[in-house]
Amino acid sequence: MTEVEQIDADRSQEEINRIGWRSRRGMAELDIIFVPFFNEVFPHLSAERQSTYIRMLDEEDPVLWEWFSERAAPEDKDYFDLVSLMLRRLQP
């Protein structure tokens, strides 16, 4: 079993659906970042990075927008690394 298959096996479909729903934010600008990332990248992240993503979903939209508009940087190193990964994905 590959690492991706193992991660998928560790999460129920209900939990995956819940994470996907939480990826939909109250700001369209954040939806453009989070929803495609969840659909295309999240399944391939390590379990640790997935946990960081899930924790990050608890942050308020204005805080997230500050990070993703690069007006502020997360103090948490795991958040910083994940935000950087998500922003690199948006580069043309």
pLDDT digits (tens, 9 = 90+) for 44-61: 999 999 999 999 999 999
What average pLDDT does the chain have? 91
Please give the torsion angle defined by the CA atoms of residues 37, 38, 44 and 48, in that order, rounded to the nearest 10 degrees.
Answer: 100
- pLDDT over threshold 90, residue 2: no
What predicted TM-score, i.e. pTM, was given to this entire model? 0.86
- Which pLDDT value is given to residue 9? 59
* Contact (CB, 8 A) for 25 and 34: yes
Segment 6-20 shows an average pLDDT of 80
- pLDDT over threshold 50, residue 63: yes
CATH class of domain segment(s) 3-90: mainly alpha
